[in-house]
Amino acid sequence: MKKVSILIVLAFWGLNLFAQTPGASSGVWSNPGIMITIALILIPMVIAVYLVAVKVNNMVKKIREVKIRREAKYLAKSIQQLSIAEVHEELTKRKLAVDYKLSNTELAGEAQPEDKKGLLHNIAEVNSPRFIASKKRAVKRPDIDPKLTKLILWYLGTATLWLVVGTSVGEYLGIKFVSPDVDHISWLSFGRLRPVHTNMVFWGWSSLAMIGLGYYVVSTVSNTVVASLKLGWIALGLINGSVVLGSLSLMAGINNGGGEYREYIWPIMLLFAIGVIITLINYLQTIARRKTKEIYISNWYIIAATMFTIVIALVGYLPFWQNGLGESIAQGYYMHQGVGMWFMLFNLGLIYYFLPQQLNTPIYSYSLGILAFWTQILFYTLIGTHHFIFSAIPWWLQTVAIIGSMGMLIPVFAGTTNFLMTFKGNFNKIGSSYTLPFYLVGIIFYFTGSTQGTAEAFRSANLYWHFTDFTVAHSHLTMYGIIAFMLWASIYTLVPRLTGREPKQSLVGAHFWMALIGLLFYTIPLMIGGTLKGLAWQEGKPFIDSVVLMAPYWLWRAIGGSLMWASHLIFAYNLYSMIANREEIDLKKTVFEELNKLPVNSAV
Amino acid sequence: MEIYNNHKRLFVAALALFLALTMFAAILPGFNIQNDNAPLPKSKPLSTEEMQGKAIFISEGCIACHTQQVRNVEMDKMWGSRPSIAADYARLTRTDVWRNTASLMGSERTGPDLTSIGSRQPSKDWHLLHLYNPRSVVSQSIMPSYQWLFEEKEYAYPGDVVLNVPDEFRKGVQGKIVASQDALHLVAYLQSLKQTDLPDGKPVPIFLYPKGPVKEEPAGTTSQLNTELDGAALYAVNCQSCHQANGEGLKGAFPSLKGSPVVLDKDPKVQVTIIMEGYNGRVSEGYGLMPPIGTTNNLKPEEIVAIINHERSSWGNNSRKVSITEIKELFNQIKTPVIAKK
């Protein structure tokens, strides 16, 4: 039902779009960047429709079952009314019919099959050939150290706190677009709260969750224990402290200079950086003690992300190249490397571990992983300046950034292929798992969100979209669609293993659907509105027209944002129930306990 | 491969590649543009008050919605007379030991670009009212109100800047609404934002992607079409923020054009003069100073005609429409003394 209404709403938007831009829009639709984006928007929609179809199918099955039961009851009743002789006769007849067998020689005769003329080739010896040999499986994993469990749960718990607080702030900001006079308090004004929201979900939610999950992955794939839990606790405190102080100082009006994600002043960001440095040391020492010969691919990504982030923070905060436009070049580099090298690389590392684990199959291809890893470093590092296309920054540097953005298609395609091929043959598991839909959505948005980024970097597409709300939609498609969904996937996979407690599946479902539908309600109107805004600017209309034009789209954004926000409350409750719920009684375990209590067994 | 079994080699290789690319894409270009750059000869540094205003601009996070860059594309023409160049940013240095350089180029235009707001909207009275509540001057605006930059006082002291806020935006404030030093500094900063002229002889960078195919007009024909510009749109861009869409202005702040003797005067001389040179004749009544908006926005005679005729024929005004030749003549009379004065 929900889906149908979405489709209707979308169709309506589509009509609107044509209605408002007669003639003038023909140029937009033939723009390659926009065509790519529309295709990209459709992909997650199609997936969502597919998932709904699966659900509906299940419902239909259930209804059919009820019908069958009813018929069975009726049949049983009618059989009871027959006499024994009648039943006997019927059954004997039926048995003869059922037992009848063909001799298998009715058509072919008695001759043996033979390929006398050599017509048969390439006979498959195995049913499904594997592209790459299966890798070693770890011997049964020892139980997880309860002390490590506690550390990881604290990382995830504080991360979730920041998710809830940070998106509450975001939700409030969304409301301010619709109702700008909702308050007149300096600490809550739009300009001050916006960086509070972005930094809180970046450094508080995503970073803490990643590092916490990283402690499990880094040590597990190294088949060893974490080098120092104490360092883990110190980093946890530092990063949380940085987010608390940073948020308060931003609300008080202390801002580093307005560069996005660089709003915390350096003494506060330094706490975060030290936290990351400590984490790096801890991870590296853990990997150095590994009991496996090779370093699993997850650890390349995680260590690279952590090393690079330290470099990125230094480039962003050291003062030596920041005068004049140098600040903007550093800003472009900093903000995009922060997103692509810290969040994206780290999350890919997590997915390379958790996805095969959850599917119970090895990753499809190591080679594609190698390709994606090196090309990501090669191309991603160059693309920062694509945030300043047509600005006063040197033209050649803008061109390098655009080329780098196109090069990014290689790691994105390689990564997506790798994940989807790992999924291949296991798609049937999605319906019976509450974690796999999160992985699937994360992977789909990895593809669409990243490719959209490439499309936006084209000069021709940039004309329409730069400075509009399209950018906001893009950053939510990626930071939320990719990063948050991948983190939730990993959390729902890992925490039950750590605590032995599972969340209520219906609530996980509610979380998933509200977050996904909310995200679509949030991003699609902003993309449509952003495009119309860009068109209005190009036509040279008075600026205020573009503000008036956005009003309905901002309203939709607030509605989608509310759904997303509510889903986070559910997620927080789910996490709580995974940590603190009473353990559910397990039948098998109880049977064995009861058996042990029997006098026969207890005597032995 | 061996590299994937040796963590030192693997991670050092990855880091080295990343560092090399970082040097190429960020640090070296940053160094270059920082050192190989100088302010334009005609530019001047911000005054102390303007610097303080910029600090308010930064701490209030105005950059979240306002850019300060004119891109070299046609659609950005409305924000400046030429594309921004690196030299425009050459005076920027680190704010202080705690805070980084603020180039404030921005990444989103939920509000207008501010590169040349000082020329586009030079009126201090307008800026103060707009900061107190943006909707008091632009009804559809969604900008936050910055009421904490203003004080309520029972009596205004000499030297206090008192705002004439329309009643519906006073929200129960009985006393005088007085601009704080922070508000005055912020407005001073906004007024200082202007594009500096390039040195004589230096080629002006062009705007890319001009609108549609450039139509070559056959030589010798005077195009009637070109002179008939959209007066309503030009009025919206240049005049509406003070005099409002309904032409009635704001009581006590910006005079009404509806029924105004200046607008209804058959002779457009006074009207053109006010647009081009500004006006202070009604300051004593509490009205703000009219800035020479036609001069600061570089309005052409054709545009002035369109605006004047829009004003003369809207909101119940019904006065004689003026012709382009008439205005061009007046224009020449006015323009010469303006330059001569300065």
Question: B150 forms bridges with which residues in the sheet?
Answer: B179
Q: Read out DSSP for A48-74?
A: HHHHHHHHHHHHHHHHHHHHHHHHHHH
Q: Which residues in chain A touch residue B67, judged by CB atoms under 8 angstroms apart?
A: 467
- The per-residue pLDDT for range A215-272, each reduced to its tens digit, is 999 999 999 999 999 999 999 999 999 999 999 999 999 999 989 999 999 999 999 9
HSE, CB side, 13 Å, CA atoms: give it for residue A370.
Answer: 8
Q: Where are the domains of chain B?
A: 7-35, 48-192, 228-341
User: How near does any CA of chain B get to the CA of A460, in Å?
Assistant: 9
Predicted pLDDT at A583: 58
The dihedral over CA atoms of B131, B132, B136, B137, expressed in degrees to the nearest 10, equals -30
User: How near does any CA of chain A get to the CA of B163, in Å?
Assistant: 18
Candidate CATH numbers 1.10.760.10, 3.40.920.10, 3.30.70.270, 3.40.50.10540; the one for domain B48-192: 1.10.760.10
Are residues B100 and A256, on separate chains, in Cβ contact within 8 Å?
Answer: yes
Are residues B25 and A319, on separate chains, in Cβ contact within 8 Å?
Answer: no
- Non-local (6+) Cβ contacts of A546 within 8 A are A533, A536, A537
Are residues A325 and B86, on separate chains, in Cβ contact within 8 Å?
Answer: yes
Which of A390, A397, A459 best probes binding to B when mutated, by most B CB atoms within 10 angstroms?
Answer: A390
Domains and CATH numbers, chain A: 146-579 (1.20.210.10)
Are residues B142 and A547, on separate chains, in Cβ contact within 8 Å?
Answer: yes
Are residues A194 and B69, on separate chains, in Cβ contact within 8 Å?
Answer: no
Are residues A256 and B99, on separate chains, in Cβ contact within 8 Å?
Answer: yes
Are residues A330 and B31, on separate chains, in Cβ contact within 8 Å?
Answer: no
Predicted pLDDT at A1: 45
Q: Is the pLDDT of residue B4 over 80?
A: yes
Predicted pLDDT at A121: 67
B48-192 against B228-341: fold identical:
yes
Q: Which residues in chain B touch residue A394, judged by CB atoms under 8 angstroms apart?
A: 29, 33, 86
Are residues B58 and A255, on separate chains, in Cβ contact within 8 Å?
Answer: yes
Predicted pLDDT at A148: 95
Of A195, A323, A329, which is closest to B61 when you measure between CB atoms? A195
Predicted pLDDT at B1: 66
Q: Which residues in chain B touch residue A466, judged by CB atoms under 8 angstroms apart?
A: 71
Are residues B110 and A322, on separate chains, in Cβ contact within 8 Å?
Answer: no
Which of B4, B67, B75 best probes binding to A when mutated, by most A CB atoms within 10 angstroms?
Answer: B75
Are residues B61 and A258, on separate chains, in Cβ contact within 8 Å?
Answer: yes
Are residues B101 and A387, on separate chains, in Cβ contact within 8 Å?
Answer: no
Question: B290 forms bridges with which residues in the sheet?
Answer: B279
Longest dimension (CA), chain A: 103
Predicted pLDDT at A215: 97
Are residues A385 and B58, on separate chains, in Cβ contact within 8 Å?
Answer: no
Are residues A324 and B59, on separate chains, in Cβ contact within 8 Å?
Answer: no
CA closest to A470 among chain B residues: B108
3-state secondary structure of B133: coil
Euclidean distance between CA atoms A210 and A214, whole angstroms: 6
- The per-residue pLDDT for range B210-269, each reduced to its tens digit, is 876 544 444 444 444 444 678 888 888 888 888 888 888 887 778 888 888 888 888 888
User: How near does any CA of chain B get to the CA of A205, in Å?
Assistant: 22
Q: Which residues in chain A touch residue B61, judged by CB atoms under 8 angstroms apart?
A: 189-192, 194-195, 250, 255, 258, 263
Euclidean distance between CA atoms A263 and A249, whole angstroms: 10
Euclidean distance between CA atoms A308 and A333, whole angstroms: 12
Are residues A194 and B7, on separate chains, in Cβ contact within 8 Å?
Answer: no
CA distances from A558 to A191, A304, A348, A513 (A): 18, 37, 30, 17
CB A493 within 8 A of CB A422: no
Are residues A253 and B84, on separate chains, in Cβ contact within 8 Å?
Answer: no
Q: How confident is the model at residue B340 (pLDDT cuts 50, 70, 90)?
A: very low
Which of B10, B97, B110 best probes binding to A when mutated, by most A CB atoms within 10 angstroms?
Answer: B110
Of A181, A307, A333, which is closest to B11 when you measure between CB atoms? A307
Q: Which residues in chain B touch residue A253, judged by CB atoms under 8 angstroms apart?
A: 59-60
Predicted pLDDT at A350: 97
CATH superfamily of the B228-341 domain? Cytochrome c-like domain (1.10.760.10)
Question: B73 forms bridges with which residues in the sheet?
Answer: B208
More confident position, B127 or A137? B127
CB B253 within 8 A of CB B129: yes
Token pair, residue A225, equals 């224990």
Euclidean distance between CA atoms A228 and A117, whole angstroms: 70
3-state secondary structure of A141: coil
Are residues B60 and A176, on separate chains, in Cβ contact within 8 Å?
Answer: no
User: How near does any CA of chain A get to the CA of B79, in Å?
Assistant: 10
CB A570 within 8 A of CB A514: yes
Which of A325, A331, A397, A465 best probes binding to B when mutated, by most B CB atoms within 10 angstroms?
Answer: A325
Q: Which residues in chain B touch residue A181, judged by CB atoms under 8 angstroms apart?
A: 133, 135, 145
Of B85, B103, B209, which is closest to A328 when you measure between CB atoms? B103
Predicted pLDDT at A125: 54
Kindly state the average pLDDT of the residues B118-124. 89
CB B202 within 8 A of CB B277: no
Euclidean distance between CA atoms A257 and A263, whole angstroms: 6
CA distances from B83 to A48, A509, B204 (A): 44, 51, 8
Q: Which residues in chain A touch residue B233, judged by CB atoms under 8 angstroms apart?
A: 541-542
pLDDT along chain A (604 residues), means of 10: 49 44 56 83 90 91 91 87 86 91 82 81 55 32 80 97 97 94 94 97 97 96 94 98 97 94 96 97 96 93 97 96 93 94 96 92 92 96 93 94 95 96 88 89 96 93 93 96 97 88 87 96 96 93 92 95 97 93 64 78 58
DSSP class of residue B290 equals B
Nearest residue to B53 via CA among B193, B243, B168: B193
Euclidean distance between CA atoms B342 and B340, whole angstroms: 6
Predicted pLDDT at A170: 96
* CA angle, residues B45, B48, B53, in degrees to nearest 5: 95
| CA torsion through residues A330, A334, A337, A341, sign | positive
3-state secondary structure of B163: strand
Token pair, residue A52, equals 């709904």
Are residues A333 and B25, on separate chains, in Cβ contact within 8 Å?
Answer: yes
CB B127 within 8 A of CB B76: no
Q: How confident is the model at residue B105 (pLDDT cuts 50, 70, 90)?
A: very high
3-state secondary structure of A301: helix
